[in-house]
Structure 1
Amino acid sequence: MALTLRTLTLDDLPVFQRLVDASFLGDTPDDGAERYRDLFEPDRSHGVFEGDELIGGGGVQTREITVPGNGPHPVAAVTSVGVKPGHRRRGVLTRVMRAQLHGLHDEGREAVAALWASEAAIYGRFGYGLAAEFTRLSVPKNAAFRRGVAIGDAPVREVSRDDAMPHMRAVYEALRPDRTGWLSRADQFWGHQFADEERDRGGLSAYRYVKHPEGYAVYRVKQDWQERGPRGELHVREIAARTPEAYAALYRYLLDVDLIGELKFFTAADDPITLLLDDPRLALRSRSDALWVRLADVDRALAQRRYGSDVDLVLEVSDDFCPWNAGRVRLTARGGEASVRRVDEAPDVELDVASLGAAYLGGTRLATLARAQRVREVTPGAVAALSHAFLGEHEPHCPEVF
């Protein structure tokens, strides 16, 4: 039977939610559709049907992402992508990806799309590049800070959710314009990020909220009572602070919580905690892929961000999936600001659109991609110059899965 694709409607949400849950081998609770209603944008969601049966689909959240040096810009936050078991490897996902990316181009919407990948091998073929990683961090309780670390004397207190939320929103919004990779959060996204029903907890406690005048932390606890004493785990959901002193104070508070043996955190790749510790080796770290970025419109996307050094180079971009991006562009950056124009001149660098997406947030070096045979240098020194220009002030980080 032939496959068809169409934009979804609000009436499709229950069956769409069942599809998404099934594709991730999960179950849909009775209120599953209602729970995600405020996150569902039907006019930005596509479904692939075989007859009347929905067998695949994906959606977009309308959000902003902070880009290097130039604050928040619109991003198509791709989410809820799934194919029903038994219908895979039939081109269903390709249809969804094409509808999303070609739709962004045809409608002149977001120049950049981003997603978290369930499997890292999937999205490269659609032009997504690995743009940000996260660190799995584990630090033992009471780990000492090095001499000279200031934590100040401002109070750090646990408060109720109702007391914490307005403060958290204010801190987050104050920080977001300068934190590459952070997303905008409307009311529904705050609710989803800190959903706290029993099914959200994974065997851990309810959220605990920690308030500092210049920051906040949110965590759960996994109790573990052993013969030699309690060895509970403190699982951090989020830490944010306006000052380095406040950041250190919040970490100090969490590391000293009683009955805990280990602090665990999925955090930024350049989280400064290791440099705060007297013994950095106490912080066990492993890195994994986080945010994947796709330039839906190369010309507009490259002009939206700022650059760390001046550069004037011709890039030959390949993009089979979105052919309007393919060709030669001259990227000229002066004083951080860039202009992009189409040219017929000989290229200095050859690369595919996934490599541009990987480098876009300033975390993945184009020089590293060249060593991995993803970028080809034509003019000697061009890759080094381009790689330096793309670097950000800090590692990009997306503190939420969407």
Structure 2
Amino acid sequence: MALTLRTLTPDDLHDFQRVVDAAFLNDVREDRLDRYGDLFEPGRTHAVFDGDEMVGGGGVQTREMTVPGGGPQPVAAVTSVVVKPDHRRRGVLTRVMRGQLDDLRDGGEAVAALWASEAAIYGRFGYGLAAEFARLSVPKNAAFHPGVSLGGARVREVPRDEAMPHMRDVYEALRPSRTGWLSRNDAQWGHHFADEEHDRGGLSAYKYVKHPEGYAVYRVKQDWQERGPRGELHVREIAALTPEAYAALYRHLLDMDLIGELKFFTASDDPVLHLLADVRLALRSRSDSLWVRLVDVDRALAQRRYGSDVDVVLAVSDGFCPWNAGRVRLTVKGGEATAQRVDDDPDVELDVQALGAAYLGGTRLTSLARAQRVREITPGSLNALSHAFLGDHEPHCPEVF
């Protein structure tokens, strides 16, 4: 039977959630099918049907993402992209991506972003690896270097009800300057810090730390050994308005009794490495986080700011969204950009996946050239373009959506 694609309605939530659970090999829990109702945007969710059976789909959350120098900009936060196990390798995912990107082209966001369950999937749909996160592990009582100031403010453990309004204020104050951070509505705040038993993965309930200029949220994994307690402190999020507040929050967590080690999925340039007196105490590994797709190259390039002036003609290829293909003159003056379609000879050739990878300023176009994803035609143009794209800090998304 032929596969068909349609946009969902509110009545499709439960069926869609069952498909999501099946695709991620989770047990279907009928008692939690309503849980994602406040996150579900049916008019922005597509599903593929084999006859009357829903066999795959994908949705979009309407959010903002901070881009280099441009502050928060609209982003299509792509989520719950799934195919049932017995319908894979039959073109279901391609149908979902086709419907989603066609809809975005017609008046939607210029940029889409997602977290990939498997890194090999989304490149063929034009998504590029734009940000990474670090798995960080630091032993208890790790000392800071001499001269680190913790300020004089008190750090307190507080109940969730007291912590949440403060957390939202701090987050909103920081978000316009933190590349990769997303807007959060009430439902997204609730989902990010969901704390039912099945959310905990064997760890404790969330514990909340409040500083006048920041906050931290963590869970604990108990581990009682013959030589004493060696529990793990798993940080969910740390945010601070000042370096002193950031150091004070880390110091509070590192000095926690009954803990042997702090673990954190954090920004790849988290300053804790440089706070430590012995940098080797911080064990780190990196993995991909945000994948970015420019749905409308011209609009997307103009939405962010750049680190230096540049005037280059890009020959852009895009096999999945051919409306992006062609030659674009990117002109940057004083950090602000214009993108104009031209017939001029190109200075740099690249595909839309490379542009997505470089878009948040964390992936160098010169590195992509060495990987044969970008080709310089006019000598010197690539270095200038790569420098212009770089951000002031590594992009980071502190939540999976």
Aligned to 2:24: 24
Residues 3-152 of structure 1 aligned to structure 2 (within 5 Å): 3-106=3-106, 108-152=107-151
In structure 2, C-alpha distance between the alignment counterparts of 1:98 and 1:264, rounded to whole Å: 39
Q: Under a length normalisation based on structure 1, what TM-score does the superposition of the two structures give?
A: 0.99
Residues 155-304 of structure 1 aligned to structure 2 (within 5 Å): 155-304=154-303
- Whether the aligned pair in 2 keeps the contact of 1:128 and 1:358 (CA below 8 Å) is yes
Kindly state the Cα deviation for residue 109 of structure 1 after the two structures are TM-superposed. 1.3
Kindly state the Cα deviation for residue 91 of structure 1 after the two structures are TM-superposed. 0.6
In structure 1, C-alpha distance between the alignment counterparts of 2:329 and 2:31, rounded to whole Å: 52
Identical-residue share of aligned pairs (%): 81
- SS for the counterpart of 1:379 is coil
- Whether the aligned pair in 2 keeps the contact of 1:57 and 1:96 (CA below 8 Å) is yes
In structure 1, C-alpha distance between the alignment counterparts of 2:166 and 2:381, rounded to whole Å: 46
- SS for the counterpart of 2:33 is helix
In structure 2, C-alpha distance between the alignment counterparts of 1:342 and 1:27, rounded to whole Å: 50
Kindly state the Cα deviation for residue 102 of structure 1 after the two structures are TM-superposed. 1.1
CA offsets per residue over residues 47-97 of structure 1, 9 Å max, x none?
A: 000100000100000000000001000000000110001100111000100
In structure 2, C-alpha distance between the alignment counterparts of 1:268 and 1:25, rounded to whole Å: 29
Query: Which amino acid in the other structure matches residue 142 of structure 1?
Result: N
In structure 2, C-alpha distance between the alignment counterparts of 1:39 and 1:33, rounded to whole Å: 12
CA offsets per residue over residues 235-264 of structure 1, 9 Å max, x none?
A: 000000000110000000000000000000
- SS for the counterpart of 1:148 is coil
Query: Which amino acid in the other structure matches residue 13 of structure 1?
Result: L
- SS for the counterpart of 2:30 is coil
- Whether the aligned pair in 2 keeps the contact of 1:17 and 1:32 (CA below 8 Å) is no
- SS for the counterpart of 2:109 is coil
Structure 1 segments of 4+ aligned residues over 3 angstroms from their partners: none
In structure 1, C-alpha distance between the alignment counterparts of 2:96 and 2:315, rounded to whole Å: 27
Q: Which runs of 5+ in 1 are unaligned?
A: none
Aligned to 1:326: 325
- Whether the aligned pair in 2 keeps the contact of 1:4 and 1:48 (CA below 8 Å) is yes
Query: Which amino acid in the other structure matches residue 128 of structure 2?
Result: G
CA offsets per residue over residues 181-208 of structure 1, 9 Å max, x none?
A: 0000000000000000000000000000
RMSD: 0.5
Query: Which amino acid in the other structure matches residue 196 of structure 1?
Result: D
CA offsets per residue over residues 260-309 of structure 1, 9 Å max, x none?
A: 00000000000000100000000000000000000000000000000000
In structure 1, C-alpha distance between the alignment counterparts of 2:130 and 2:192, rounded to whole Å: 22
Q: Under a length normalisation based on structure 2, what TM-score does the superposition of the two structures give?
A: 1.00
CA offsets per residue over residues 139-161 of structure 1, 9 Å max, x none?
A: 00000000001111100000000
Kindly state the Cα deviation for residue 394 of structure 1 after the two structures are TM-superposed. 0.2
- SS for the counterpart of 2:388 is helix
- Whether the aligned pair in 2 keeps the contact of 1:269 and 1:395 (CA below 8 Å) is yes
In structure 1, C-alpha distance between the alignment counterparts of 2:42 and 2:192, rounded to whole Å: 21
- Whether the aligned pair in 2 keeps the contact of 1:14 and 1:32 (CA below 8 Å) is no
In structure 2, C-alpha distance between the alignment counterparts of 1:25 and 1:371, rounded to whole Å: 38
In structure 2, C-alpha distance between the alignment counterparts of 1:28 and 1:401, rounded to whole Å: 21
Query: Which amino acid in the other structure matches residue 229 of structure 1?
Result: G
Kindly state the Cα deviation for residue 30 of structure 1 after the two structures are TM-superposed. 1.7
In structure 1, C-alpha distance between the alignment counterparts of 2:30 and 2:181, rounded to whole Å: 32
In structure 1, C-alpha distance between the alignment counterparts of 2:299 and 2:28, rounded to whole Å: 39
Query: Which amino acid in the other structure matches residue 221 of structure 1?
Result: V
Kindly state the Cα deviation for residue 33 of structure 1 after the two structures are TM-superposed. 1.9
Query: Which amino acid in the other structure matches residue 208 of structure 1?
Result: K
Kindly state the Cα deviation for residue 32 of structure 1 after the two structures are TM-superposed. 2.6
In structure 2, C-alpha distance between the alignment counterparts of 1:152 and 1:114, rounded to whole Å: 37
- SS for the counterpart of 1:147 is coil
In structure 2, C-alpha distance between the alignment counterparts of 1:101 and 1:4, rounded to whole Å: 16
